[in-house]
Amino acid sequence: MNTGVTRRLHGIAASPGVAVGTAYVIDRRKVNIHRRHIAAHEVDTEIGRLHSAVAVARQQLQQIRERIAPEASEHSVILDAHLLMLDDALLTDQTVDAIRNELVNAEWALRNTVEKIKELFDNVGDDYFRERRSDVDFVGERVLRQLMGTPTELPRPADLDGPVVLVAHELSPADTAALARSEVLAFVTDGGSSTSHTAIMARALSIPAILGVADATRLIATGDTLIVDGLRGTVTVSPSDADADAAGERGRRYMAFVRSLRSNRDEPTRTRDGVRITLRANIELPAEAPVAIDHGADGIGLYRTEFLYVDRREPPPEDEQYETYRRIVETMAPRTVTLRTFDIGGDKFSTAFRLPKEMNPALGLRAVRLALREREVFRAQLRAMLRAARHGSVRVMVPMISTVSELREARAELERAQHELTSAGIPWAPVPFGIMVETPSAVFMADVLARESAFFSIGTNDLIQYSLATDRGNEHVAHLARSLDPAILRALAAVSQSAAAAGIPCALCGAMAGELLALPLLVGLGVHELSVEPTAVPEIKSALARIDYREAVTLVGEVAMLSTAVEVESLVRARYEHVFSDLLANGEVGTFTETGTFVLPELLAPR
Amino acid sequence: MSERVEQVFEVLNERGLHARPVTQIVQAASRYRCDVELERDSQRANAKSVMGMLLLVCHKGSKVTVRATGADAAQAVAAIGELFAARFGER
């Protein structure tokens, strides 16, 4: 059902690739409700419609509840609450009253009641309780959809006629997980960011995703032909046949390119002159572990455990965490898995902790600082990690260390966790205990910290933000946040030298590890453990194999004479642009930053 | 026979009457035919309404009156009282 009018929509390229296919729009946003006056004799019919809509909604929720895995108990609790809300007198009685007294249709009465209840929640001073209005909304929407005959559920894959491009307002992790790869060609969503679950899942499935496309669900209709360009961040609605063919061809070329890169998956990562580099993957979801293996990663260099803490009211129970870590550790064995203790606070808000609003969250109560305030929660996580360590090769690292005392206190908690397990008779295994180096103070103290850490892992995103005092999210200053700034290179050199002097490994798991032009410098600086997005592993492995270690060391020496980021960038580009030309120029093979942003080669090599 | 029973309980669990405890209260109250309400600082909520009780916003340390009216009022208050005493299975 092509409208014929071609239009191009823009969004965040959250997963690379190009797909051409038919749109399947799942619109779960607010439905338009029309007010209709009813006659007195219609009142009972309307009330009857309301009750049967509630009954169907109840049945649906019960079915979902049964499908939920028992370990997801937190979700069951929410669904139980939703089920009870369906029958809540506040909702149903008020709606029935409105139908009867105001002589309006059930949809209008229900919508007004929901709005009134939400207003009550809006006036609550406490964040947690105020946020419950979203539960009211959720329940109200479900009944409304039922009343209006619009589907509430994602289509089961069987309902989809052939492979489609899924267009939705937002997809929950459950939605995306339920969709098997064969049925979906690409994702397009109104909301979301490159770090959202949809983005992660799309990359894990190796299908393109464009997120944050304003009004996608309104501008795209089911049946429209779409080009989803995950390399450029565009969605073309109703393209010409020629454009669709060209896009299909680009998609195939990209796939072939990815496949050719992936042919190196079983080869060890080493420089051209044979220096071994350990190339691991950064993951957030357990489902990404097989993806990391599939792309030839040497292990997990960063597992972001925050995912376990978001969208829940209580920190995750120790046993649940243990099972999750264990699954990843067993999947990856014998490869090493680096578990990072929760990095919550700052921009990563979690409802599991009641975090106070802060004027300056990046400098506030976050990561290890929060862990040392919530020591019970911290130790529960450490215990789960120690238990999981029995099932493979595990190391544990603590984020945002800014003083040596913090490291010591964190270690004391680790030791306490070990004692607790021992005295409870629960088996565990010792773990190398390392730190993220991502604050300037940790750089200054790197020599001392190195003596007390089993390894370093440099988090370049925060290190750049704090060292250059620059918020990358602020468009007015973002240009200052350059990873090849001489200040950053000096910091990396200091950290790497301190690690080498203490004989500990120095890893880097920030976005910089995925930047092609940064690689020669990292290799030359002696940072020989890198960790990138799982799907970026083949490309980085291929790039590393073209770098000569001795040349890289020489390059570092030359760069040390330079004074500005632009000078460094020009020199590196002059030396390495031709070396990486296919990676940079094959069109659109870019890299992922730590936050999952797809960086187009144009940005790496403007011409 | 209509009887009226009330008793004051303190919220002991760390996170107060959030969705899970409130769900437990509704499930318990719904097993009885009597009317049950909660009162905190002279605000009231129907103990069979999740939304109503969430809107009461009871934190740890809140003193909550559980009041039941009806034939099985005493059992209802006792059942809900047990939930409070057990901290709703939380810390």
Tens digits of residue pLDDT in A409-427:
999 999 999 999 999 999 9
Distance, CA of A481 to CA of A510 (rounded, Å): 13
Catalytic residue among B6, B7, B12, B18: B18
Q: Which two tokens stand for residue A365?
A: 């109560």
Pick from A218, A61, A74: nearest CA to A143 = A61
Q: Which CATH topology does A7-28+153-259 take?
A: Glucose Oxidase; domain 1 (3.50.30)
| Chain B contact present for A122, CB below 8 A | no
Predicted confidence at residue B1, as pLDDT, reads 55
Assess B8–A contact: CB distance below 8 Å, yes or no: no
Give chain A positions within 8 Å (CB) of B57.
Answer: 124-126, 129
Indicate the number of domains in chain B: 1
How many angstroms separate the CA atoms of A576 and A587, rounded? Answer: 17
CA-nearest residue of chain A to B23? A81
User: What pLDDT shows up at residue A600?
Assistant: 39
Chain B residues in contact with A78 by the CB 8 A cut-off are 19
Segments forming the whole domain that contains residue B32: 3-89
- The radius of gyration of chain B's CA atoms, rounded to the nearest angstrom, is 12
**CA B78/CA B81 separation, integer angstroms:** 5
- CA dist A528 to A216, A293, A499, A524, Å? 43, 19, 11, 9
Q: Are A235 and A226 in contact (CB under 8 A)?
A: yes
| CATH 3.20.20.60 residue spans of chain A | 277-431, 433-508+515-607
Instruction: Provide, as residue numbers in chain B, all residues whose Cβ is less than 8 Å from the Cβ of A128.
Output: 15, 18
Per-position b or e across A320-345, b if 16+ CB within 10 A of its CB: bbbebbbebbebbeebbbbbbbbbbb
What is the structure's pLDDT at A150?
A: 62
Residue B15 belongs to domain with CATH number: 3.30.1340.10
Does the predicted model carry a pTM greater than 0.80?
no
Nearest to A349 by CA among A304, A398, A310: A310
Q: Do B49 and A129 touch (CB under 8 A)?
A: no
Q: How far apart are CA A103 and CA A97, in angstroms?
A: 9
- At A604 the pLDDT is 34
Subunit contact A84:B26, Cβ cutoff 8 A: yes
Cis status of the peptide bond prior to A334, with omega within 30 of 0: yes
Interface test with B, best of A132, A312, A353 (most B CBs within 10 A): A132
Fold of A40-148: Enzyme I; Chain A, domain 2 (1.10.274)
* Dihedral pair phi/psi, residue B45, rounded to 5°: -145, 145
Asked if the Cβ–Cβ distance from B51 to A90 is below 8 Å, we say yes
Q: Which of A139, A41, A57 is nearest to A99 (CA)?
A: A41
The pLDDT, as a whole number, for residue A586 is 47
ipTM: 0.90
What proportion of chain B, given as a percentage, has pLDDT over 90?
A: 85
Q: Are the C-beta atoms of residues A592 and A535 closer than 8 Å to each other?
A: yes
Domain A433-508+515-607 in CATH 3.20.20.60: yes
User: Is residue A514 a contact partner of residue A594, using CB atoms and an 8 Å limit?
Assistant: yes
Backbone angles phi, psi at A212, to 5 degrees: 65, 30
Identify the pLDDT of residue A574. 93
Q: With a cut of 50, list the residues of chain A below it in pLDDT.
A: 1-3, 71, 156-158, 181, 586-607
Check CB contact under 8 Å for B18 and A120.
no
- Nearest chain A CA: its distance from B5 CA (Å): 22
The answer, for B20 touching chain A at a CB cutoff of 8 Å, is yes
Chain B positions touching A89 (Cβ under 8 A) are 46, 48-49, 52
Homologous superfamily, domain A277-431? Phosphoenolpyruvate-binding domains (3.20.20.60)
> Does A88 contact chain B (CB < 8 Å)?
yes
Strands ordered across the beta sheet of A225-229: A7-10, A234-237, A225-229, A18-26, A164-168, A184-189, A209-211, A12-15
